[in-house]
Chains A and B, each alone.
Chain A
Amino acid sequence: MLQEEQQVFSPPEALVDTPTHFCPGCHHGIVHRLVAEVLDRLRVAQDTICVASVGCSVFIYNYLHVDAVEAPHGRAAAVATGVRRARPESIVFTYQGDGDLAAIGLAEILYTANRGENMTVVFVNNTVYGMTGGQLAPTTMVGQKTTTSQQGRRFETDGAPLRMAEIIAGLPGTVYSARVAVDTVQHIKKARKVLLKGFTNQVENRGFSFVEFLSACPTNWRLSPLEANERVGKELIRAFPLGIFKDQESGGPDTESRRSE
C-alpha cells in the first residue's frame, strides 16, 4: 500500500517565490530566508516595515512580502528610527552590509542602538564591499586581499577590522547583540534561534537587537562557492568569534555586556 504523501517542508510565506539575483554561494539568500521564517513564526510579516540598505541586498524588498522603504547608503538605521517613531506599533528591521553599516553608517547605527530604538538590525558581514566589486571594508581581516588592498590589509595603514557585534553590545541601549554564521546546518539552526530572539525582543517591546551574520562572498573573494563557505568556518569565525555578547530584559544606562559561548 502506498503511503499518502506528506508535506514535510515548505518555503516561508513571507518569502517571495522567485529566483534571487545573488551569486552562487552567496549567503545573503540564506539570511533572507531566515528573516522570512522568523517573520512567519512570529506572524508579523503583515505588520513589518523593512528598511533596505545600499549594497548587494538592496533588492531585499523583491524577496519579502513586506512593506519596504529604501534608505541612502549607510542611513538605514536613521531611516528606521523615523519609521519606528512614526509607527510605534509596527515591526521594523534594517538589513545592512558591512560597508553600509560599519563604515559610512557607523554613526547612525551607534546612535540608533544607543537610543535603544525598539527594532531589529540584520547585519551581513562578508568582509568586503560586495556590490561595488570587492573593495576593502571596515571588516576586512588583516592580511586579507581585496581590490583596494591588493597586498592584503595592513594594520599599520588600514587599521583593524571592526567587530560590530561586540561594539554594539557595549552600548547601554542595546538589549541583544550576537554573531552567527550560516556555513553549516548546525550554524544555520543556531542562527535561526538567535534571529528569532532578535525579533521576539522587538515584538515584546524590549528595545534594540542586533544580529551579525558572517557571510561568504565567493565572487569577490575569488573562490568557488564551496571554498568560500569553508573560509567562513576556517578564517572568519576566528577573526569574528560567534556568540551572544549581550542578552537582557531591557536596555538602560547601567547595563553590562556579557559573553556566552
Chain B
Amino acid sequence: MKTEKASLLVKGNEAIALGAMAAGCECYFAYPITPQSEIPEMLSRILVEAGGEFVQAESEIAAANMLLGATACGKRAMTSSSSPGISLKQEAISYMAGSQLPAVIVNVCRGGPGLGSIDPSQGDYYQSTRGGGHGDYRTLTLAPASCQEAYDQTIQAFDLAFRYRNPVVVLGDAILGQMKEPIQAWKERAIQDSRGLSWSLSGARGRKPRLLKSLYLSDGALAGHNRLLQEKYQAMRVECDWEAYKTDDAELIIVAFGSMGRISKSAVRQLRERGLPVGLFRPITLFPFPDEPLAKLAEEGKRFLTIENNAGQMVDDVRLAVRRQSDSELYSVLPGILANPTDLLEPIQRVLHT
C-alpha cells in the first residue's frame, strides 16, 4: 500500500531500519559494529515500541542463530552487521539456506581483510554472491545505491526471502550507511501471519509435526535436496534487476554496483558533457546477476569496464556474462581509498581510447 508521506532526511542505515519496520519485521537480533550501528540503535527503540522483539546478542554467531530460530517460526526477522560480523554469521546462513529459511541479513560492508578499517568497501561481493559459508548454496543479494533504495530494497528483501524461502543479503557499504538523503517512507507497517505458512513451526496441535533441518544422511537424500535448491536458484533469475544509464549509444559501458555505481554515474555524466560515448550499467541484484542484459549489450558490440571498490570481484561475473563477444577491463579502487568521480575520469578515458 503506497501512501503519500512527507520526505524524511535519514542515513542509509536508518532507511534500512525503517524499511524493516515497514516490511513487518517482528524480530531483530544483532551485535554492535561500525558502520552499521544506527540500525540496532534505531530498532532498539522503534521495533520495541511497536511490540517487536529486539535482542542485542552476545556475538554475531548468536544473533544469526537467533534469526534462524525466529525465521523457523515463520516470522519476518532480520540481522545486520558489517564484514567481520558477517563472516561470523556465515555458518548460520549456510544452515538457513540448507533449511530453506527466509532470513534477511544486512551487510554494511567495510574494509578488510581481518579487522581492516571502517572505510567503505565492496570487498564482500564474493562472500555475498557465492554463498559465503560452506556448501553449495546461494543467497539472493540486493545492492542499494541510495537511501531510498536502501528502504525499498529492505522491504523487497523480506518479500523475496519468503517467496523463495531463502536467505536474502542486502549489501551496502559505509557510504550508503552513513550518507543522509531524503526518502519517501511509503509503506505502512503490516504484520504477516506466521502461522498460516505450510512450513513454519508453532507446535503440532491438530497437525503432523514439522521439521526444519539441513541434515540429509539417507542414500540419495542430500543430492535430491541439493537438486531442489539449485532449481530454486535458477528460478530466482526472474528477479534480476539493474539500471542502464545512457547505454544505448555508448561505446564503453561502465559496470559498477552500489555506491560505486553512483560515483561512476557522476563520472559518466561529466564525460558525456565532453561528448564521450560512455554509459553505465548498474547491477541491482548481484545474485542473481543480470547477465542477459549484459550479454545483449556485448552482442551490440559494446566494450566494458568494471569499476569496483575492491580488488576485482564482480568483474568475474561481468566477464562470464559477456564472454561470447567481449571481455571486461577492471579498474579497482582498493578498500581504504574513498573513491570519487574525478579519480575515475582518466581511467575511463584510457580504456575508451584503447
Contact = CB atoms under 8 A, between A and B. Distances in A.
A52 B68 CA distance: 13
A108 B62 contact: yes
Nearest to A111: B58
A49 B201 contact: yes
Interface in A29-68: 45-49, 51-52, 58, 61, 64-68
Interface string B180-198: 0000000000000010000
A47 B73 CA distance: 13
A65 B99 CA distance: 19
Interface residues of A, number: 36
Contacts of B26: 86
B195 to A, nearest CB: 9
A58 B215 CA distance: 9
Given A69-B99, A71-B65, A108 B70 contact: no
Contact of A87 (B55, B61, B201): B201
A51 B69 contact: yes
Contacts, number: 143
A78 B29 CA distance: 10
B27 A75 contact: no
B114 interface: no
Interface in B272-329: none
Interface string A133-170: 00000000000000000000000000000000000000
A67 B68 CA distance: 15
Contacts of B215: 58, 70
Contacts of A69: 68-69, 72, 99, 201, 211-213
Interface stretch (B13-21, B167-175, B202-210, B238-246): B202-210
B331 interface: no
B206 A68 contact: no
Contact of A86 (B69, B92, B205): B69
A181 interface: no
Contact of B72 (A48, A83, A91, A115): A83
A80 interface: yes
A71 to B, nearest CB: 6
Interface string B136-155: 00000000000000000000
Contacts of B57: 78, 111
A48 B66 contact: no
A107 interface: yes
B176 interface: no
B27 A90 contact: no
A47 B69 contact: no
B60 to A, nearest CB: 11
B204 A67 contact: yes
A67 B73 CA distance: 10
B58 A107 contact: yes
A72 B95 contact: yes
Contacts of B209: 61, 64-68
- Most chain A CB atoms below 10 A, which of B61, B69, B71, B91: B69
B268 interface: no
Contact of B67 (A80, A82, A91, A110): A82
B59 interface: yes
B203 A85 contact: no
B68 A71 contact: yes
A84 B61 CA distance: 17
A117 B92 CA distance: 21
Given A70-B95, A70-B215, A108-B62, A86 B204 contact: no
Contact of A82 (B77, B99, B194): B77
Interface string B211-225: 111110000000000
A45 to B, nearest CB: 8
Interface in A195-250: none
A66 B203 CA distance: 7
A254 B149 CA distance: 47
A81 interface: yes
A178 to B, nearest CB: 24
Nearest to A61: B211
A108 to B, nearest CB: 5
Interface of A: 45-49, 51-52, 58, 61, 64-72, 75, 78-87, 90-91, 107-108, 110-111, 115
- Considering the complex of A and B, which 3 residue pairs feature the smallest CB-CB distances, nearest first? A82-B69, A78-B65, A82-B66
22 contacts: A45-B204, A47-B205, A49-B201, A49-B203, A66-B209, A68-B213, A69-B201, A71-B65, A71-B69, A71-B95, A75-B62, A75-B68, A75-B92, A79-B69, A81-B62, A81-B66, A81-B69, A83-B70, A86-B26, A86-B53, A86-B72, A111-B62
